[in-house]
Structure 1
Amino acid sequence: MNEKILQLLGIARRAGRLSLGNDAVIESLRKRSAKLVLLAKDLSRRTSGGVRFAADKEGIAVQVLPSTMDEISMALGKRTGVVAVNDAGFASKLLTLCTAETAGTEE
């Protein structure tokens, strides 16, 4: 399941529907273009807290991925632990996959 999430993130990146990195994600939240914020499971508590605060302020869902920063970096081609999904379709599918991953089910 984790592989499906990373593949979909790669497709979204190539489609130009992601904001990568703390500053870009915060900016995306401020502009209200972010539909979902994804965090690496090994992201620092400080960075995670700042992004969560900004997302809560804008009413955007935050999901912790079952992937490390290294795994996300391999899928996206850029080292990052914070990703904003700026497309409702991608956000919906990624949220479904992440929910299934935490529930331990396959889709």
Structure 2
Amino acid sequence: MKANYLNIIGLAYRAGKCSLGEDIIVRDIQQKRAELVLLASDIGPRTKKKITNKCHTYEIPYEIVDDRETLSNAIGKSQRVAVAILDAGFAAKIRTLLG
């Protein structure tokens, strides 16, 4: 089941429905473009606090998922600790698979 949500993240990335990078994710949260934010379990405390506070303020759901290596492999990039899903369909499917 865990591998399925990683496949959906990969599909969303290839479809151009993801944003990467702390500043871009925060901008997408503020503009309410982000439907779901995925954070690696080993994200740094300052980055985690910044992104989760923005999610709470703008009422964007977020999930803590696997470590940064697993999350990075799902999208084919290295050292990614956060991914914002910009499509409601992909976000709903990922949340369903995560439980």
Fold shared, TM-score > 0.5 on shorter chain: yes
**What stretches of structure 1 of length at least 5 have no aligned partner?**
100-107
Q: Tell me the CA shift for residue 72 of structure 1.
A: 1.1
Determine if the alignment matches structure 1 residue 69 to structure 2 residue 60.
no
* Counterpart-to-counterpart distance in 1, 2:40 and 2:2: 12
Determine if the alignment matches structure 1 residue 87 to structure 2 residue 78.
no
Q: Tell me how many residue pairs correspond in the alignment.
A: 98
Amino acid at match of 1:9: I
Q: Tell me the CA shift for residue 75 of structure 1.
A: 1.4
**What stretches of structure 2 of length at least 5 have no aligned partner?**
none
Determine if the alignment matches structure 1 residue 5 to structure 2 residue 10.
no
Q: Tell me the CA shift for residue 77 of structure 1.
A: 1.6
Alignment of structure 1 residues 7-86 onto 2, 5 Å = 7-65=7-65, 67-78=66-77, 79-86=79-86
4+ residue runs of structure 1 moved beyond 2 angstroms?
none
Q: Tell me the CA shift for residue 42 of structure 1.
A: 1.1
Alignment of structure 1 residues 93-104 onto 2, 5 Å = 93-99=93-99
* Counterpart-to-counterpart distance in 1, 2:76 and 2:17: 15
What's the TM-score, normalizing by structure 1? Answer: 0.87
Query: RMSD across aligned C-alpha pairs, in angstroms?
Result: 0.9
* Counterpart-to-counterpart distance in 2, 1:97 and 1:49: 25
SS in 2 for 1:57: helix
What's the TM-score, normalizing by structure 2? Answer: 0.93
Identity %: 36
SS in 1 for 2:69: helix
* Counterpart-to-counterpart distance in 2, 1:25 and 1:82: 8
